[in-house]
């Protein structure tokens, strides 16, 4: 794994940034909640990176991963409500799942390197 000097270098943060895209014209509440979940992923990665210990960083990454799960669930809601079609759902779901997997691998890496 390359050296990470800034949280902007973290692949999961980059993925979460892209996942904040999307428009709903009919359900502002769901759109807002999905945007907040995507922002939460990015924010927790950044906050954890800037925290004072590796253990705190891993904890924040876990919170970011939980927000990614929330966003995946909201994608189902958007699909079921007819706000997005199957293709948009799959694109969003795959992107958020990629971010979640990146977070899991990064957490595992950090935990194993701190032992």
Q: How many CB atoms lie within 10 A of CB 74?
A: 20
Q: How many CB atoms lie within 10 A of CB 41?
A: 30
Q: Count of domains in the chain?
A: 1
Give pTM, 2 decimals: 0.85
**How far is 79 from 93, CA to CA, in rounded Å?**
11
The domain that holds 63 is classified in CATH as: 1.20.1440.60
Label residues 75-111 b or e (16+ Cβ within 10 Å = b): beebbeeebbeeeebebbbebbbbbbebbeebbeebe
Q: Is residue 54 part of a domain?
A: yes
Q: Is residue 85 part of a domain?
A: yes
pLDDT on residue 24: 63
Question: Residue 97: which domain range?
Answer: 8-16+27-113
Q: Is residue 2 part of a domain?
A: no
Q: Is residue 21 part of a domain?
A: no
Per-residue pLDDT of the chain (115 residues; tens, 9 = 90+): 568 888 888 888 888 876 544 556 667 888 889 989 999 999 999 999 999 899 999 999 999 999 999 999 999 999 998 888 999 999 999 999 999 999 999 999 999 986 5
């Amino acid at each position: 794994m390359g050296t990470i000097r800034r949280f902007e270098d973290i692949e999961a943060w980059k993925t979460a940034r892209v996942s904040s895209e999307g428009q709903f014209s009919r359900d502002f509440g769901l759109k807002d909640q999905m945007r907040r979940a995507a922002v939460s992923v990015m924010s927790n990665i950044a906050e954890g990176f800037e925290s004072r210990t590796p253990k705190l960083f891993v904890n924040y990454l876990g919170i970011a991963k939980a927000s990614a799960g929330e966003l995946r669930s909201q994608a189902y809601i958007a699909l079921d409500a007819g706000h997005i079609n199957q293709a948009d759902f799959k694109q969003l779901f795959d992107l958020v799942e990629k971010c979640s997997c990146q977070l899991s691998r990064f957490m595992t890496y950090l935990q194993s390197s701190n032992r």
